[in-house]
Chain A
Amino acid sequence: MTIDLKFLVWLIPLPPLLAFFTILLFTRGSKVLSDIVAVGAMLTTFVIAWFVLIQAVFFTPHLGENPITSQFVWLSLGPSIETSFKTGTLIDPVGAVLLFFVPLTALMIFIYSTGYMASGSYWTALVEHGRPELALDHVEHERADHPEHTNEDDPNASAGHGHDKVIYDSAGRRIVKFDATIWKARFMAFISLFAGAMLLLSVADNLLLLFVGWEIMGACSYLLIGFWHNRIYPDEPDRITPAKAAIKAFMTTRVGDVFMLIGIAWLYSFTGTLSFREIFSEEVLHTMAATPALPSFGIGLSVAGAIGLLLFIGTIGKSAQFPLHTWLPDAMEGPTPVSAMIHAATMVSAGVYLLIRMFPLLSAGWTEGGPLTVPMTAMAVIGSFTALFSATIALAQRDVKKVLAYSTISQLGFMVAALGIGAYVAAVFHLMTHAIFKALLFMGSGSIIHSVEHGEEHAHHHGHHFEHSFDAQDMFNMGGLWSRIPVTAWTFLIGGLALSGFPFVTAGFWSKDEILADAFAHVPVVFYVLAFSAFLTAFYTMRQIGLTFAGAPRTHAAEDATQTDWRMNLPLIILAFFAITAGWIGIPAALNPLGINPFHEFVGGTLLEHPETLPFNWFPMLTSIVVALLGLGVGWAVYVRKPLAAGEVDPLKRTLGPLYTLFQNKYYMDQLYEGSFVRFFAWFSKTVVYEWIDRGLIDGLLHFIARGTEWLAFRNKDFDTYVVNGAGDELAEGVGNLGEAFKYVQSGRIQQYLAVAAAGLLMLAGVFVWAFFLR
């Protein structure tokens, strides 16, 4: 090897980060150039990452004991290099797994984005009358100059900077069509930064660097979810707007991040290091597990447990676990590639990845088969509850992306629960397979939406007309797409089967089966909950496929839908390939022709103690086959065998009755938060913070000081006017008057002067005589 691998690892996050700056600074005016920069950078990263991956997997013996690491001193703290804060990179088996799927899915998403963002040179936003909007200033200005263009789609009404257009619909509402080039380039820049941050997080060898990547992703998700920040839905007042969804996502994950940061700080103050490998030495873990936390809450909480819980709260926020899950479905307001990026490959995976990374800490004091530690119990409970909870919500969703969003929450619940019961390898496995097939499904759904939108435009003949009533994401507006968009349909089916855990073929089956097998062996309750969730998963997946593709089209838009272009199809096909094959590397030893479970052997090497391979048990395997097939079968019977006609209500609604309404309204969690937290804090921030503290106290103080200063300034002015200027003026005037009075002495008559001189001389002479002679 001429190139040292450990230096190559540093280069992995670099190209997308550079692409971010390049696009924003130089190429934002050109979509093609920005696409090339972003995809080129991601491709470079992909090549480096997979090169490192291949080296690590096949040419590095005992990667678990001898990971690829490099470190340098970041912050010089304390007297010696030992106490300094070091940062660096770490590629161990778990890191290698991330290097497998993160660059792969990211690259696919990048290629897909170039296609997704290709159509339409405008993006449209409806702007209410009289409502000030950001970024509309120049348009507003132009509009004042052309008041006569108020009603029609007039080409002369084009306005302002770039080629933004303002048109008005029949109801007199103002619609702005933005020149989209710069937005498309900006989109590529944001996802580049996002990918760079995720890769940074993937290769980080310490919690602080991981947290840096974590927070950059948080900021990027805010930017991307709110990408259409001018979009509002005047016809659906209850629907969340992208701008609000972005704030919601940011604020909700912030709750988790604060706890996580506290956990990191506590960990650093306790151990003096944040490096994974140093924390996970046996003695550090032992000390942490043995020291009781203050307070221990009466449940024997150790320091390890307390820190573990704090970090877990970070994951709850980032991976959208109950009760901080509400941001994720609303994040669907972002463009679809963002959904794939955030909700499949990267951000939500980062939360689970944190738990996987910190598993030795979370499980400190736990032995295989022994009682679970406090954080593990919390993870098992919250994970399995979330898995079931959001699977039920997914049953009743209408929006094609929201089904996937809730499905994502549910699948992340599977992983969290798996870690909670100690199924370390299974969680890693499911993280990997889920990232691939969920990215596939999200991009598939984006492709569906895109096709339907095009169908809708086609149906209306002229795309200028702005339609509010039609929702291209509503599955009840679809149907019959199977023959119209075959590539999307086939790949979506493959992704859906992988998500359902279709036996033996798909990746999802093997990873989910491994979780179920572990759960059955250790905590049967979790097993039953997850198995039922898996049944629901299969059912709602089939419902989605049935509603979307089966039967006859329910709207004109669906009738006119056409297949998207190759840039959107190629990633689907590639990911569909991996959605099937990625699972084969983790086939249990008993069924594996190799005689071992290669994935288990490889990933298990990360831990100090190699996790034992479970003896093969037919019951969980059979269960996962049965639940998957049963769910798919019931879904097929309800939604595919008898496809829904246009205007027909969901048959599930008849069966479930009020439960359906409950699920459809997401257990009223949003309303609960709205009523309990949001409204209070909105009131608090508006009334107390804004009106009282900010406007009243701070502004009052400022105004008081300002008025006092103003008063002083006026007094100062008076002093200046009357005293300083007055004295100067008076003096000058006095001198002037004096001169005026005496100037007549200068009469110009020579004899007068001489007479005066003579008189003076006489006087002097008199004085002289008096002084010298008469005195």
Chain B
Amino acid sequence: MIPLYFYLLVAAALFSMGVYGVLARRNAVAILMSIELMLNSVNLNLVAFWRYLAPDALNGQAFAVVVFAVAAAEAAVGLALIISIYRNRETVVAEDINMLKW
């Protein structure tokens, strides 16, 4: 059987890619996608911990479902905001959307 840390390593790699994407990508849609990556790496962790450490309880799966729901809502709001910004400013580059400053 595949040991638990394999899953944890995959999830950590996935999370790191998400972080990198959030910090480094210029496209706001890509940033949104990177956030989805990070959320999914967390889900992977939750499910892995449930399967290996507490298979009798449903907590891990329930948490994962809640995270899906939050991710879906977040993606919907996030995309709506980006479309709205795009209509006003004709850009989706994150560093150009900097009106809220000193």
Residues of chain A touching chain B, judged by Cβ–Cβ distance below 8 Å, are: 743-744, 746-751, 754-755, 758
Q: Taking A751-B23, A754-B22, A754-B23 as contacts, is the C-beta distance between A743 and B94 under 8 angstroms?
A: no
Distance between A349 CB and nearest chain B CB, rounded to angstroms: 100
Contact B102 A744 (CB under 8 A): yes
User: Nearest Cβ in chain A — how far from B102, in angstroms?
Assistant: 4
Residues from chain B with a CB closer than 8 A to the CB of A750 are: 94, 97
Indicate if the CB atoms of A743 and B102 lie closer than 8 Å.
yes
- How many Å lie between the Cα of A750 and that of B22 in the bound state? 10
Is B88 an interface position by the 8 A CB rule? Answer: no
Contacts of A751 in B (CB 8 A): 22-24, 31, 94-95
- Chain A residues with Cβ below 8 Å from B99 are 748
Are B23 and A758 within 8 A (Cβ)? yes
Interface residues on B, range: 10 to 19
Measured in the bound complex, the distance between the Cα atoms of B15 and A758 in whole Å is: 13
Q: Which residues of B contact A749 (CB under 8 A)?
A: 94-95, 98, 101
Determine whether the beta carbon of A746 is less than 8 Å from that of B95.
Answer: no
Q: Is the CB of B19 within 8 A of A758?
A: yes
Complex Cα spacing A743 to B102, Å: 6
Q: State whether B23 touches A746 (Cβ < 8 A).
A: no
A748 and B94 form a contact (CB under 8 A): no
A744, A747, A748, A758, most chain B CB atoms within 10 A? A748
Q: Which of B22, B23, B31, B101 contacts A748 (CB 8 A)?
A: B101
A-B contact count (CB 8 A): 30
Q: For residues 30 through 87 of chain B, which have their beta carbon under 8 Å from a beta carbon of chain A?
A: 31
B100 proximity list for chain A (CB < 8 A): 748
Listed A/B pairs (18) with beta-carbon separation below 8 Å: A743-B102, A744-B102, A746-B102, A747-B98, A747-B101, A747-B102, A748-B97, A748-B100, A748-B102, A750-B94, A750-B97, A751-B22, A751-B94, A754-B22, A754-B23, A755-B23, A758-B19, A758-B23
Q: How close is B100's CB to chain A, nearest CB, in angstroms?
A: 5
Chain A residues within 8 Å of B19, by CB: 758
Closest to A757 in B: B23
Q: In whole angstroms, how far apart are the Cα atoms of A749 and B31 in the complex?
A: 13
Q: Which residue of B lies closest to A746 (CB)?
A: B102
Closest to B95 in A: A749
Q: For A744, give the chain B residue with the smallest CB separation.
A: B102
- Residues of A contacting B102 with CB < 8 Å? 743-744, 746-748
Closest 3 pairs between A and B when the two form their complex, measured CB to CB: A748-B101, A748-B98, A743-B102
- Cα A750 to Cα B100 in complex, Å, equals 10
How far is it, in angstroms, between the C-alpha of A744 and the C-alpha of B24 when the chains are bound? Answer: 21
Residues of A within 8 A of B94 (CB): 749-751
Chain B residues positioned under 8 Å from A744 (CB to CB): 102
How far is B102's CA from A746's CA once the two chains are assembled, in angstroms? 6
Chain B residues lying within 8 Å of A747, measured Cβ to Cβ, are 98, 101-102
Name A747's closest neighbour in chain B (CB-CB): B101
Distance (whole angstroms) from the CB of A568 to the closest CB of chain B: 100
If A748-B99, A749-B101 are given as contacts, then 16 extra A-B residue pairs at C-beta distance below 8 Å, sorted by A number, are: A743-B102, A746-B101, A746-B102, A747-B98, A747-B101, A748-B97, A748-B100, A748-B101, A748-B102, A749-B94, A749-B98, A751-B94, A751-B95, A754-B22, A755-B23, A758-B23
